[in-house]
Amino acid sequence: MKPALLFNRFFWTAIILGLICTNPTQTTARAANTKTIAVIPFAMNSADDLSHIQNGIIYMLYSRLSWPGNVVVVPKKDMESLLSKTDNFKKSKLINEIATQTGSDFILSGSITELAGSFSIDARVFDIKNKQFMAFFEQSKISDDLIEKVDRIAASINKEVFNRATVTYKRMEQEKQAHINELKRKNPEHMMNVPSGWQKEESPGWKIWKYLF
């Protein structure tokens, strides 16, 4: 195994153990206004074995999306049991089946694609009742940045889907405002040039999905 991959495996294992130890077990009891979200393991598109990153992402999302009294994340062991019976399901059928079996209001799925050492993270949150989805995207030049990028996606989901402004989301807003202020100081001919990787100011918005698959 390559030294870099070995280091990353230990790195992500430490992250998983840290999340398990520092986050109390979430109760499955739900109030009437509590929302439930199920996380499907992200697809890993890479020539290397990134299963350790895949597992780390699940624990990270569980930790960051859980919100006592407001949002319940379906436990990983329950998802594993259900997914073992749905291997051959198409995307739309899989989403509906998971929602039905877990009683989830939302389903989160996504993928991480590695290309020449860089990573792109794509995620979608499906609103089951309203048959719509919201897409989220981040890029990382190195694997060590994946934790931060996944944290940013979780923060965006918390805000856009559950109207929860986390510390990470507030920091992202401060960064965005700093970029805007920097653009305002530039010459007028440069004002319309949006920096590479810049996220638009407005919400990603919901899009219809029942006819996509």
Domain of 42, CATH number, reads: 3.40.50.10070
Confidence of residue 117 (pLDDT cuts 50, 70, 90): confident
Instruction: Classify residue 86: in a domain, yes or no.
Output: yes
Instruction: Classify residue 19: in a domain, yes or no.
Output: yes
- CA 46, distance to chain mean position in Å, is 18
Write down the pLDDT at residue 28.
41
Confidence of residue 126 (pLDDT cuts 50, 70, 90): very high
Between 62 and 33, residue with greater pLDDT: 62
What is the domain range of residue 112? 3-164+204-208
Instruction: Classify residue 195: in a domain, yes or no.
Output: no
Instruction: Classify residue 88: in a domain, yes or no.
Output: yes
Among the listed ranges 37-41, 53-57, 72-76, 193-197, which one has the minimum average pLDDT value? Answer: 193-197
Instruction: Classify residue 90: in a domain, yes or no.
Output: yes
Instruction: Classify residue 185: in a domain, yes or no.
Output: no
Map residue 177 onto helix, strand or coil. Answer: helix
Helix or strand holding residue 156 (H, E): helix 146-162
pLDDT digits (tens, 9 = 90+) for 131-154: 999 999 999 888 888 889 999 999
pLDDT digits (tens, 9 = 90+) for 67-101: 999 999 999 999 999 998 887 788 788 999 999 99
Query: Is-contact 160 200, C-beta < 8 A?
Result: no
The count of other CB atoms within 10 Å of the CB of residue 176 is 14
Instruction: Classify residue 65: in a domain, yes or no.
Output: yes
Instruction: Classify residue 172: in a domain, yes or no.
Output: no
Sign of CA dihedral 180, 184, 186, 192: positive
Write down the pLDDT at residue 185.
77
Q: How many independent structural domains does the chain possess?
A: 1
Please state, rounded to an integer, the average pLDDT across all residues of the chain.
82
